[in-house]
Structures are given as structure tokens and as C-alpha cells.
């Protein structure tokens, strides 16, 4: 069948099956009806071929089979499917539940926040009205008291005035809408911290429950209840397993028990056990979280008391963070209360899907059937096989994993919810697998076994036994979720929408209007500049390249350039050099003055006389 035609036909079948059940006095959810349609189609005993177009007779037969199975309240298989649908539709992990609670809280105070942030009061009466709304917001946001409790309102008002007097409303009004919303949250946390501190000092605390003590009593009580129910259903599983094994060994026993729906009953309690284990794990996590909150809350309160003591005034930067820390820790207590209430309700509501066990197998009948039958617990079965393991040398093409040779051995994702991969398809029972025997890795998936013999048989042809398990799941549709085989059958479900790997069954796909915007050219451009789309331009370039191949490049020498070249010479320029010689000196001595007398001659003979007028040296 084509995809669209298949979907339209199945939707019509689901609608008609739902109407038939309503006419019979049973109002069932569309998800449950869709899953039952899937179960009937998958069951090979019904001979439905989804590769062919369903005739009108086939459609009517399918509707009738679905209605019959949905109205058969004595079949444990129906109770198991209802349990799976209920758990899938209602269970949420911690993060999902707390996110939903935050969304609900935001919706609860949305109207008050809108009235505060969107108003622009000017008159004193309007400002007073907005201030009273801030008081209401702080009370609603904290969840500590009712808006109709006069004493709680008085405490909130006093705490708010100590950190946010009405005179600061002018500044608050001038803020943007986003800043107003953030300041409202901060004020609510401060008010909550102040009220918690006053309660600790026995100066207030109206409407504030003692959550730590309540949790200290409620969590152990819830854990004990879960343990008791878990032990009870495990005991039933062990008894049913023993009876089924005895049926395969004793033909008389087989004829005696063939009328009972033991396999369906076993799958029912195994699924109930799996869900209880999930709730028990969440309860343990809550207990650990409460212990951590106790330590942090006491430490924060001690620091706050030491900081405040009997002081009349304290700087806000010192005490405000301490009040906000108290508020955050108290919110943690409130979250744990919410989670514990959710887990308790889930456990109580799951109990109804196990009521069919007491109807089919009253204690007297079950005790008589177990005469001469040895009942072994899962722990006893694992303990019996602890000394045996697979010999790797017996398998050449198979990979076996063991605790001492494999890192994170306990974290491996075991197929079939940890049950023996051999016993499901061959025996139709769920036996606990023992990883110590050896984990078979086949096509990147891991399988465990209840015995060494089962491991050897399975390893001879894994694909054969895997297909047997799939066929068994088609016959018993509740095994699809119990053995975590949803991914192999999801294509046949009209509304299948798994929320995560651990959750199953059908949800209509969520739809919403959304828009996205991306940056322009976030990557560097990769434009090829040499690209040409024009064929003729490519031809022209090809001809040009072809012509170039026939061209040669020549060089020649001329007479003028022969043996010529450009020369360069580098010289050192003379530098200025100076030398130093002796200095000139002088002394003061008499100046010689010598005269000659008689040079002019006379009447007589010329007679020259030398006259020395130089002064003596000692006179100078």
C-alpha cells in the first residue's frame, strides 16, 4: 500500500474501532486503539499483509478483531498494553517534569506580571495598586501561602518593604519590560528568603510547610511501598517462569496449564516490574537530592545568621545573595515534593493494571499449580551460572565481551532489556541474562544469556534467533516495548512518535509555526571567475589554446648587446680625518735694538759704530 493510502485507511479503522468500543460502553483513548490496531496487524495468526491493499472485508475483519481484543478484560495482554500506553502518556523524567512545572507557574503569574510590567501609573493611588500587585506576585511565585491568607500577605508586604520600599516605584516604572520582569523575580526570591529566615527565627512563617521534615518521612514511606510492590511482582514473575518451564518438561503439566494465559501474565508482571524499577530509581535520586539540600540549607542558614545576628542595618550586597540562595534551596525542596507526589501517583495508578493477576490466578490456585515445582528467583538463577563462561576459542567469527577485558562493561546497552536472547524466541519466556557468562557483540549490538548452552546455540546463528524474537513480538505485541523493539515496528504505527530512546508508543507529531534567519554569506565566496556558461566563448578559448600550442618563443642576440652587460661598482668615499700636533708657544724676551752710526758718511773718513740699545734681560 502507498504511504498516504495506508495512513488514511488506518486512521479510518482507528476511528471506527473507537466508535464501536464506545457503543459497547468502553471509552478508550485514540493512542490505545492505534496500538491495538498495530498489534492485530502484526500478529501473524491474523494473516494481514500490509504490502497489499486491504479490501473492505479485510478492514471489517480488522475492526472486529480490534474491538474483540479491546473488550476482552480477562486477557493480561490487554492490561499490559494499557499499562504501557498509560506510562508512556503520563511518565516524565525529572527535567521534563520540572520544566512543565515552571511553565505552569509562569502561566499562573502571567496575568499579574502583565498587569505590573505593562502599566505606567502616575497617580499615587495607581502606584499603590501596582505595589500591591507586586506583593501578590511575590506570594504566588514563592508558593508559600495563599493570596487569601491575611497573615501571609502581611509578612510578604513587610519583607518587600524592607528591600523595596514604595518610594522606589518611580525607578521601577521607568525600567523596560524585560528589566521589570527580571527585578520581579529577584524581589520574589528575596522576599522568600526573608520569610524563611524569619520562620527559622520563629518570627513568622505563616503558610510555610516544614518541607524538609515532610520529605524525610514521605520518601522512606514511598520507597518502602515501591519495594514491597516490586518484591510482590517479582515473586509472581518467578512463579510464572517456573510454571512455564515445567510445562515444557512435563506434557501432563502442559495439558493442565494450557488453558491459562501464563505467558501473557508473565509479560504483564515483567512490564510492571520494569516500570516500578524506573520509579524506584527516581525515588532514590530524590532521596539523595534531599540529603544534599539539607546540608546546603543548614549551611546557608548558618552563614545568614552569622551575617545578620542582631545588627540593625546591613549592606544589601552582603545579605541579598544569602536570601536568594535560601530561596533557591527551598525551591529545590518544593521540586522534590512535586516529584515525590508524581511518583506516588504513578505507582498507585499502575497498580490497577496488575489486578487481573489476582482474578486469573488466585493464591489458592497458584499454590496448587506450584506443587512439586521449584521456584527460582532471578538472583538464584544468575548465581547458579556465575562459575560458567563462554570459551572464546570456540568461536572464530564472534566477539565476546567480559568484565575484566571491557571498559565500562556495566554501561553497555544490552538488548531485550537484559533478558536472555535465546529463551525469548525459543521458549517464549523472559529469563534474566547473566553478563558474566559473556556478552555477545553482533552487528554492534550486545546480547546476554541465561546459560552457557543458550549462548552457544544463539551464537551459531544469531540472525535466526533474532528473527524468532521479532516473530514472538509480533504474536505478543506487549513485547515490543518490554524488549525495547519499538524501532523495528515503528513504521506500522500511524501516530508513533517516540519521545526518547527509553520511551515508547504513540503520540501525534507536534506542530508549530516557526521561522529561522541566517546570516548572509557566512562562508567565504567560492565564485569561480574563470567559469563560462557560453558554449561559443568556451570554443573560442579552446581555439586560442590550440593555436598557442603551435607557437614557439624565440630569443636572439644583437651585435650591440653581444658581450655587454650592465656593471655596477661600489667604492668607499673618503672620510674626513683630523690629527692633533704640538701647540705653538712663545716667551717674552727683550726686543733687540741695534743701530749703526756713521752710515751717511762725513767730511772725514766714514767710520761706522754699532750701538746696541737692547735692554738687559733682567730689566724686562
- What pLDDT score does 259 carry? 58
pLDDT at 448: 93
Point out which residues pair with 496 in neighbouring strands. Answer: 506
Q: What is the mean pLDDT of the chain?
A: 83
Q: Is the pLDDT of residue 510 over 60?
A: no
Under the banding of pLDDT at 50, 70 and 90, the label for residue 603 is: low
Most confident among 43-47, 291-295, 367-371 (mean pLDDT):
291-295
Percent of the chain with pLDDT over 90: 33
Least confident of 117-131, 181-195, 317-331, 396-410: 117-131
Q: What percent of the chain has pLDDT over 70?
A: 86
SS3 127: helix
**Nearest alpha carbon to residue 280 among 352, 338, 231, 216:** 231
Query: Cα–Cα distances in Å, from 313 out to 162, 166, 486?
Result: 11, 19, 64
Q: Which helix (H) or strand (E) holds 612?
A: strand 609-612
Q: Is the pLDDT of residue 162 over 70?
A: yes
| Predicted pLDDT at 170 | 85
Q: Which residues contact 544 (CB under 8 A, 6 or more apart)?
A: none
What is the DSSP annotation of 23-59?
HTT----HHHHHHHHHHHHH-GGG---TTSPPPHHHH
452 contacts 437 by C-beta, under 8 angstroms? yes
Is residue 85 over pLDDT 80?
yes
pLDDT at 620: 63
pTM, 2 dp: 0.74
Q: How far apart are CA 245 and CA 254, in angstroms?
A: 10
> What integer is the mean pLDDT of 396-417?
88
CA distance 36 to 495: 12
Is residue 21 helix, strand or coil?
A: helix
Structure-model confidence comparison of residues 453 and 308, the more confident one: 453
* CA dihedral of residues 330, 336, 338, 342 (deg, nearest 10): 180
Confidence of residue 267 (pLDDT cuts 50, 70, 90): very high
596 forms bridges with which residues in the sheet? 610
> What does the chain come to in residues?
620
**Which of the residue ranges 79-83, 487-491, 604-608 has the most confident prediction, judged by mean pLDDT?**
79-83
- Rounded CA-CA distance 52/507 in Å is 26
Q: Assess whether pLDDT exceeds 60 at residue 492.
A: no
Q: Tell me the average pLDDT across 271-300.
A: 94
Q: CB of 424 within 8 A of CB of 374?
A: no
Dist. CA 548–CA 538, nearest whole Å: 15
Q: Which helix (H) or strand (E) holds 594?
A: strand 594-597
What is the predicted pLDDT for the residue at 602?
60
CA distance linking residue 98 with residue 187, whole number of Å? 22
Residues 255-261, mean pLDDT to the nearest whole number: 67
3-state secondary structure 399-458: EEECHHHCCCHHHCCEHHHHECCCHHHHHCCCCECCHHHCEEEECCEEECCCCHHHHHHH
Sheet with 399-401, edge to edge strand ranges: 399-401, 439-442, 445-447
pLDDT, residue 506, reads 41
Span 104-121, average pLDDT: 86
Write down the number of H helices and E strands in the chain: 22, 5
Selected residue with higher pLDDT from 549 and 310:
549
C-alpha cell at 346: 504513578
Q: How far, in Å, CA of 483 to CA of 433, rounded?
A: 13
53 band by pLDDT with thresholds 50, 70 and 90? confident
* Region of poorest pLDDT, from 48-62, 339-353, 477-491, 596-610: 596-610
Q: Which residue has the higher pLDDT, 90 or 9?
A: 90
pLDDT of 519 over the 90 cut: no
Say whether pLDDT at 52 is over 60.
yes
| DSSP string for 130-187 | HHHHHHHHHHHHHTSS-TT-HHHHHHHHHHHHHHS-GGGHHHHHTS-HHHHHHHHHHH
509 pLDDT higher than 70: no
Give, to the nearest 10 degrees, the angle between helix 262-308 and helix 316-350.
Answer: 160
> Residue 339: pLDDT band by 50, 70, 90 thresholds?
very high
CB distance 160 to 191 below 8 Å = yes
Of the pLDDT bands very low, low, confident and very high (cuts 50, 70, 90), residue 493 is very low
Kindly tell me if the per-residue pLDDT of 498 is higher than 60: no
pLDDT value at residue 367: 86
What pLDDT is recorded for position 495?
39
Rounded Cα–Cα distance for residues 458 and 447 (Å): 10
Lowest mean pLDDT among 281-285, 334-338, 573-577, 580-584: 580-584
Helix spans in 164-261 (H): 169-173, 177-200, 211-249, 251-257
Label residue 306 by pLDDT band (50, 70, 90): confident
**What pLDDT digit, counting tens, does each position of 365-379 carry?**
888 888 888 899 999
| Residue-wise DSSP of 491-505 | GG-TTB--SSTT--S
Contacts of 102-107 with C-beta under 8 Å, sequence gap 24+, read 105/141, 105/143
Q: How confident is the model at residue 499 (pLDDT cuts 50, 70, 90)?
A: very low
pLDDT of 486 strictly over 80: no
Amino acid at each position: 500500500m502507498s504511504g498516504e493510502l495506508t495512513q488514511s485507511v488506518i486512521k479510518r479503522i482507528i476511528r471506527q474501532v473507537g466508535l464501536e468500543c464506545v457503543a459497547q460502553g468502553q471509552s478508550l483513548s485514540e493512542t490505545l486503539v492505534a496500538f491495538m490496531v498495530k498489534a492485530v496487524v502484526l500478529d501473524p495468526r491474523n494473516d494481514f499483509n500490509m504490502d497489499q491493499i486491504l479490501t473492505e472485508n479485510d478492514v471489517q475483519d480488522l475492526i472486529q478483531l480490534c474491538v474483540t481484543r479491546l473488550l476482552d478484560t480477562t486477557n493480561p495482554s490487554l492490561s499490559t498494553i494499557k499499562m504501557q500506553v498509560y506510562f508512556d502518556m503520563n511518565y516524565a523524567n525529572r527535567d521534563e517534569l520540572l520544566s512543565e512545572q515552571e511553565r505552569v507557574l509562569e502561566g499562573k503569574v502571567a496575568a499579574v506580571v502583565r498587569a505590573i510590567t505593562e502599566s505606567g501609573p502616575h497617580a499615587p493611588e495607581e502606584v499603590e495598586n501596582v505595589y500591591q500587585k507586586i506583593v501578590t506576585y511575590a506570594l504566588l511565585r514563592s508558593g508559600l501561602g495563599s493570596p487569601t491568607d491575611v497573615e501571609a500577605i502581611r509578612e510578604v508586604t513587610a519583607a518587600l518593604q524592607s528591600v523595596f520600599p514604595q518610594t522606589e516605584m518611580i525607578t521601577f516604572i521607568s525600567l523596560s519590560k524585560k528589566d521589570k520582569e527580571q527585578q520581579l523575580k529577584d524581589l520574589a526570591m528575596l522576599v522568600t528568603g526573608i520569610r524563611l529566615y524569619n520562620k527559622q527565627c520563629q518570627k513568622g512563617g505563616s503558610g510555610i510547610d516544614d518541607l524538609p521534615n515532610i520529605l524525610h518521612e514521605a520518601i522512606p514511606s514511598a520507597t518502602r511501598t515501591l519495594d514491597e510492590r516490586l518484591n510482590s511482582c517479582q515473586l509472581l514473575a518467578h512463579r510464572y517462569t517456573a510454571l512455564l518451564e515445567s510445562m515444557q518438561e512435563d506434557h501432563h503439566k502442559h495439558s493442565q496449564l494450557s488453558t491459562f494465559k501464563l505467558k501473557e501474565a508473565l509479560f504483564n508482571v515483567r512490564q510492571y516490574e520494569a516500570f516500578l524499577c524506573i520509579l524506584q530509581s527516581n525515588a532514590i535520586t530524590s532521596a539523595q537530592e534531599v540529603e544534599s539540600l539539607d546540608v546546603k540549607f543548614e549551611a546557608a542558614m548558618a552563614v545568614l545568621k552569622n551575617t545578620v545576628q542582631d545588627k540593625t542595618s546591613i549592606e544589601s550586597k552582603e545579605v541579598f545573595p544569602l536570601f536568594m540562595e535560601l530561596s533557591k534551596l527551598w525551591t529545590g525542596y518544593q521540586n522534590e515534593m512535586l516529584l515525590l507526589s508524581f511518583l506516588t501517583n504513578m505507582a498507585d495508578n499502575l497498580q490497577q493494571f496488575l489486578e487481573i493477576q489476582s482474578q486469573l490466578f488466585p493464591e489458592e490456585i497458584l499454590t496448587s499449580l506450584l506443587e512439586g515445582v521449584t521456584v527460582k528467583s532471578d538472583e538464584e538463577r544468575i548465581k547458579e551460572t556465575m562459575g560458567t563462561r563462554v570459551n572464546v576459542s570456540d568461536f572464530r567469527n564472534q566477539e565476546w565481551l567480559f568484565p575484566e577485558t571491557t571498559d565500562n562493561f556495566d554501561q553497555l546497552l544490552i538488548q531485550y532489556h537484559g533478558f536472555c536472547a535465546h529463551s525469548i524466541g525459543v521458549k517464549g519466556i523472559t529469563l534474566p541474562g547473566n553478563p558474566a557468562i559473556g556478552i555477545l557483540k553482533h552487528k554492534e549490538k550486545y546480547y546476554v544469556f541465561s546459560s552457557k548452552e543458550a549462548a552457544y546455540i544463539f551464537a551459531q546463528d544469531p540472525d535466526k534467533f533474532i528473527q524468532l524474537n521479532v516473530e514472538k513480538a509480533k504474536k505478543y505485541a506487549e513485547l515490543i516495548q518490554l524488549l525495547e523493539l519499538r524501532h523495528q515496528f515503528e513504521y506500522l504505527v500511524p501516530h508513533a512518535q517516540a519521545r526518547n530512546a527509553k520511551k515508547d508508543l504513540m503520540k501525534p507529531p507536534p506542530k508549530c509555526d516557526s521561522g529561522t534567519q541566517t546570516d548572509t554569506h557566512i562562508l567565504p565566496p567560492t565564485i569561480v571567475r574563470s567559469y563560462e556558461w557560453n558554449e561559443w566563448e568556451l570554443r573560442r578559448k579552446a581555439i586560442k589554446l590550440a593555436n598557442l600550442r603551435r607557437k614557439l618563443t624565440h630569443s636572439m642576440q644583437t651585435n650591440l648587446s653581444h658581450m655587454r652587460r650592465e656593471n655596477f661598482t661600489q667604492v668607499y668615499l673618503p672620510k674626513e680625518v683630523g690629527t692633533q700636533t704640538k701647540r705653538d708657544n712663545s716667551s717674552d724676551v727683550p726686543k733687540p735694538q741695534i743701530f749703526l752710526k756713521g752710515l751717511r758718511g762725513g767730511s772725514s773718513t766714514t767710520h761706522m759704530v754699532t750701538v746696541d740699545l737692547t735692554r738687559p734681560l733682567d730689566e724686562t
